[in-house]
């Protein structure tokens, strides 16, 4: 997994404080940024957290480049709908020797790892064979329509991989660009940094949180699983390791 914060709102915490100040003072647009020292910026952010006024934090957004994650993770990630996603297309990009993600539990046993790798090899063979057969058919059709050999070959491959991709597994690796505002990110971290989240998306969320805390530490000071802010809400489904989780997230992002 490779995660990189590639862009974000300049001076995100001051931008959020500016929005909060406008809500609670008589300041005009021309003067609203005046006097927003670091101390006052932090004060506004703390106030928003204390009273639960979340809309001002939507004015800061963060864009991540993400690669080396599975299609299984992608299905979970896109359930967070207040975000923008651009994903490498399997319709336009041929999956030659496709990369894949091995779950740690499968990788931990020689027998399960061997079975998994055999499945990936078989999927690759089926994908390549389906692509070959479909491309041959489509190329013949395009040639009969009067297209040049070069154009017929190009269009035939694109049309072939569009259907051949159906045989690819959930483990198939993908790449994407993801943008969320700070409010949605906070919600995302609440759900996906929790120990009850699936292991891959939990690793992604934790790394994303580490990186945004490095550039906006006050904005994400209390971000993370719910047990950081109080008792665990999971009831009998709780992992039972709240103290350990709190300790883990305490210094997250501090190294940056």
Catalytic residue annotation: 192
Q: How many CB atoms lie within 10 A of CB 133?
A: 12
In the sheet that 173-181 helps form, which strands lie side by side, from edge to edge? 2-8, 61-70, 173-181, 83-87
Q: How far apart are the first and last CA of the chain?
A: 19
Q: How many helices (H) and strands (E) does the chain have?
A: 9, 4
What H or E segment, with its residue span, contains residue 68? strand 61-70
By the 8 A CB rule, do 166 and 28 touch? Answer: no
């Amino acid at each position: 997994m490779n995660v990189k914060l590639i862009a974000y709102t300049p001076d995100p915490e001051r931008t959020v404080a500016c929005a909060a100040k406008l809500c609670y003072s008589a300041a005009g647009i021309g003067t609203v940024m005046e006097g927003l020292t670091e101390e006052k910026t932090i004060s506004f952010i703390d106030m928003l957290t204390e009273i639960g006024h979340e809309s001002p934090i939507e004015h800061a957004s963060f864009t991540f480049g993400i690669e080396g994650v599975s299609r299984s993770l992608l299905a979970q990630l896109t359930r967070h709908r207040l975000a923008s996603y651009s994903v490498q297309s399997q319709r336009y990009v041929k999956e030659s020797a496709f990369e894949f993600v091995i779950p740690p539990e499968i990788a931990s046993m020689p027998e399960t790892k061997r079975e998994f790798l055999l499945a990936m090899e078989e999927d690759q063979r089926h994908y390549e064979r389906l692509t070959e057969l479909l491309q041959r058919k489509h190329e013949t059709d395009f040639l009969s329509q009067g297209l040049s050999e070069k154009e017929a070959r190009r269009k035939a491959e694109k049309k072939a991989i569009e259907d051949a991709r159906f045989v690819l597994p959930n483990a198939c690796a993908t790449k994407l660009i993801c943008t969320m505002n700070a409010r949605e990110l906070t919600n995302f971290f609440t759900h996906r940094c929790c120990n009850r989240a699936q292991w891959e998306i939990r690793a992604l969320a934790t790394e994303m949180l580490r990186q945004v805390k490095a550039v906006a530490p006050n904005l994400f000071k209390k971000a993370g699983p719910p047990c950081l802010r109080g008792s665990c809400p999971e009831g009998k489904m709780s992992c039972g390791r709240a103290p350990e989780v709190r300790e883990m997230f305490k210094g997250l992002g501090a190294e940056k």
